[in-house]
Structure 1
Amino acid sequence: MAKAKAESVRETYEQLQKNQDMRQLVQIGKSRDKASKDLTAIKQMKDETGRILHDHGKIIQRWLNYFEKLLNEEKVRVKTEEGGANEGLIMNISRDEVKRALEKMKNGKAVGPDQIPAEV
C-alpha cells in the first residue's frame, strides 16, 4: 500500500511539473493545510445562551471564555470539622520496607518528587 501511495504521489508531481496546473497545486495546498489543523473534530458548539456557533474563531473564543471562567472563579469551601495533626497515628517505615521497595525499582526511570533517582 505504501508503494502504491508513493507511486501515486510521484505521478502527481510529474504531471504537475508538465502541466503547471494551478488548480491541482491549490488543491494540494488546501489538503495539506487541513491535515495540519489540530481542531478538526469540533464543527459546532453552543454558546452561553444556547445558540449554535459554527465559525471556528467564535468556537475558539467560546473555549477561551469557558476556561477563563472555570479557572478564575472562587469556590466556597465548607469546613467540616476541627481537628489536630495525625502525629503518632502512622507507623514508622522500617529499613526492611525501604530495602524491599528499592529492590523493586528499575534503573533509568524518571525521578520522583524528591528528585533523587533510584540508582542513588
Structure 2
Amino acid sequence: MVYKTWWNSRLGTDLQKYRNLKSAAKRAVAAAKDQYYHSLYDQLDTPSGENNIYRLAKSRHRSTHGNGHVMHIKEADAKLLRDKHSILQRSTDYFHKISNTQFTHPPITSPDPTLGPVASITPGEEKLAIIKMKSGKATGPDDLPAEIWEMLGKPASEFLVKQ
C-alpha cells in the first residue's frame, strides 16, 4: 500500500516511508530465516537428526531428476498413464518413433539456387566482405584480423601463394 501511495504521489516523504518499511520487511525475513535454520541445525544435531540428514539428501537427489514432475500422460489410444515406468516407456517409444521415421520431402518444382555447383567468389564480393568486417572481432582461418585486410586494400586472393 505504501508503494502504491508513493507511486501515485511521487513525494520524497512517501518514498522514504516506503524504503523504511521495505528495509524492515527484509530484516524480518532475515530474522525468520535465521531462526528457522538455527532450529533445523539444532534438530540435526540430535541422535535422530542423522535420519533427517539422509532424508534431506534423498529428497534433494530426487529433485535433480527431471522426470519426477510428470504425474500422468496419455497413451496413444488416450489411456491415462500414471506410474513412472509406463510414463518413461511411453516417452521412449514416442521419441524413438519421431527420431527414426523417414519423412517424405515434397518434390522440387522450382529451381533451387543451392543445387548444383557453387559459383566462385568474385574480387568485388571479397572487397565488400572486407569492408563489412568489424574491427576487433575473431580472426578467420588465416589468423589475420580484419584490420590488416582493410589496410592492404586488396582482395585476399591476390596474396594467396599457390603451392
TM-score exceeds 0.5 = yes
Match among 67, 75, 80 for residue 52 of structure 1: 80
Q: Report matched runs for 1:77-116 at 5 Å.
A: 77-81=105-109, 83=111, 85=116, 92=122, 94-103=125-134, 106-107=137-138
Using the alignment, how far apart are the partners of 2:49 and 2:129 within structure 1?
A: 71
8 Å Cα contact 1:106-1:118 kept in structure 2? no
**Pairing partner for 1:31 from 55, 59, 65:** 59
- One of 89, 101, 112 as aligned partner of 1:73: 101
| CA-to-aligned-CA distance 1:9-52 (integer Å, 9 cap, x gap) | 34312222124246634542443234222234422111122111
CA distance in 2, matches of 1:80, 1:67: 29
Aligned length: 114
Structure 1, unpaired ranges of 5+: none
C-alpha RMSD of the superposition: 3.8
Aligned letter for 1:64?
A: T
Structure that is richer in helix per residue: 2
User: Match of 2:87, SS?
Assistant: helix
**Which one has a bigger Cα radius of gyration?**
2
